[in-house]
Amino acid sequence: MTQERTDLLVVGGGIDALAAATIVARAGRSVRLICSEASLGEIDASWEFHPGYRSAGLRCLSAPRPAVVAKLRLEDFGYRSRLAPTTEESRPLSEPLLDEMAPILATIQEFADGAPRELIDPSFLEMLRLGGTLHRTRRAMGKYAFADALRVLPMSIEDWLSERFDEPRLRAQLAAPALFGGWVGPLSPSTAFLWLLAHAGGAHEPVGGGPALVSALEKAAREAGVTIETSTTVDGWTLEQGRVVGASTDGGELRAKQLLSTAHPSITLLERLGAREVPAALREDLGAYRSRGIVAVMHIALDCPVEGPEQRWIGDSPLDWERAFDAAKHGTIPERPCLRLRVASADDPSIAPEGCSVLKLQVFAVSVVGPDEADRQRETLEARVLEQLARVDENWPGAVVASELITPTDLEHHHHLPGGHLEHGELALDQVFSLRPCVGIGSYRTPVPGLWIAGAGTHPGGPFPGSSGVLAAGQILADG
């Protein structure tokens, strides 16, 4: 049955959907948010994967940008941040690099904090703004350091770090943050830029991880008056006279003056809208948008406490990480998967029974496989991950109570992520900021009136949770 028309219908239950809904509702508009899952948060939600043990979401999130926290008033709803854990060995080595590149990091953050830049037909004022940004960066660095930074950005992270450090193990630890957002290994071009992008998110993270951030956003949205409906499946968009006027769901048609979708751009535009409604040039650009997943996530329940660092990178040298990437490129399983290991229960002890622990492993590098290969891939990969853990602590494999492995194939088929990429698309020089997901829709507006996009697959991309939703809400409000 057809329900009352709202000002904005938000489709999606993740961080950006909640952020956008809250901003628009606080402006006095009626907002309805629907999602297909039984609870909010999507891949950043927490769930029980074994009796008494809960996950801490699939991503390791940076803290939202300060402007996002302030605009959403998240601290009023229990949000807190903390310094993200890192190895004591790598911190003093990375800090001089970050200090040296501080003006570049500030420029990346400036792009991330602002509305997408117009690339197709920029105004004179827009060109002045861009020129002013680059001039300030050059002046802050000095002309020789700025020229060297331009040399570094397209380099591989291994080549750049090799200029500074001789020890392969340290280079591997330093390089690892550059590898979890793209389809890359440490020898891939432009991974030096991806390393800077990863660090531009800042040194802090939400206390309690993604689930705690989702909880604060849900409270903010409900306080703002957003109507939230879970377990609502969307079949497609409703069009009238070439304009999107609502969504067709399993509970009937929901109508709205405007609709914002935070799903993967291909789902929003090609599946739910229909390819025939999308201009040919945009269809081609979306077809070229790369979303190859490379990271699996494994939750492990241990019946013992974990001593030592809260975060560890497991991979002895850049060559180990490159070999893992080589395996993914050829659709095989790495002999020695490289790992980002987080003791999730150290930050939130409530997710494990007293005296027990939950590990969250992001496993590099894993490719999407066909349905007939999925079970074999999961079984082999899980065994090899446990072998890697035994190299860290020989007691851990014997303390495993249960585990849950989510591969990129699972992300594609069960979590609505085409290609199995956690960030709705690879991070690369040609797929960030106003180029995300492609030229022409980088400002959240689609060619179809009434339909907007946001989410991890749109500007700014990368380690800036909530920014896309807040910026898209600003564009929607400005549109009237």
Q: Is a pLDDT exceeding 80 seen at residue 122?
A: no
Top-confidence residue, 89 or 79: 79
Express each pLDDT in 91-115 by its tens digit: 788 999 999 999 999 999 999 999 8
Q: Where are the alpha helices (DSSP H) in 242-370?
A: 265-266, 280-288, 318-329, 344-347
Q: Indicate the pLDDT class of residue 75, thresholds 50, 70 and 90.
A: very high
pLDDT at position 1: 42
Question: What pLDDT shows up at residue 104?
Answer: 95
By CB neighbour count within 10 A (0-12 exposed, 13-18 middle, 19+ buried), where does 132 fall?
A: exposed
**What average pLDDT does this structure show over 358-373?**
95
pTM: 0.95
Residue 249 has pLDDT above 80, yes or no: yes
Distance of alpha carbon 362 from the chain centroid: 13
Number of H helices, E strands in the chain: 18, 16
* pLDDT per position as a tens digit, 294-312: 999 999 999 999 988 999 9
Asked if 63 and 347 count as a contact pair (C-beta separation under 8 A), the reply is no
Measure the CA–CA gap between 161 and 323, rounded to whole angstroms. 18
Q: What is the pLDDT of residue 132?
A: 86
Mean pLDDT of 206-211: 96
pLDDT confidence tier of residue 118, bands split at 50, 70 and 90: confident
Quick one: average pLDDT of 151-163? Answer: 96
Across the range 317-338, mean pLDDT stands at 96
What is the token pair recorded at 386? 């446990």
459, 468 in Cβ contact below 8 A?
yes
What digits encode the pLDDT tens for the residues 13-58?
Answer: 999 999 999 999 999 999 999 999 999 999 999 999 999 999 999 9
Per-residue tokens: 67: 């402007």
Q: Is the dihedral of CA 129, 130, 131, 134 positive or negative?
A: positive
Closest by alpha carbon to 471, among 129, 23, 25, 44?
A: 23
Q: Does the structure show a pLDDT above 90 at 128? A: no
| Two tokens, residue 279 | 């201009």
Measuring CA to CA, which residue among 340, 356, 357, 302 is closest to residue 87?
340
C-alpha separations of 477 from 8, 40, 87, 167, 172 in Å: 10, 24, 43, 52, 45
pLDDT at 127: 81
The mean of the pLDDT values for the chain is: 93
pLDDT of the residue at 441: 87
Helix (H, G, I), strand (E, B) or coil at 471: helix
CA dist 339 to 348, 394, 400, Å? 21, 16, 17
What mean pLDDT is predicted for residues 116-120?
Answer: 79
Delimiting residues of CATH 3.50.50.60 domain(s) in the chain: 6-50+57-83+207-289+426-479
Under CATH, to which class is 6-50+57-83+207-289+426-479 assigned? alpha beta
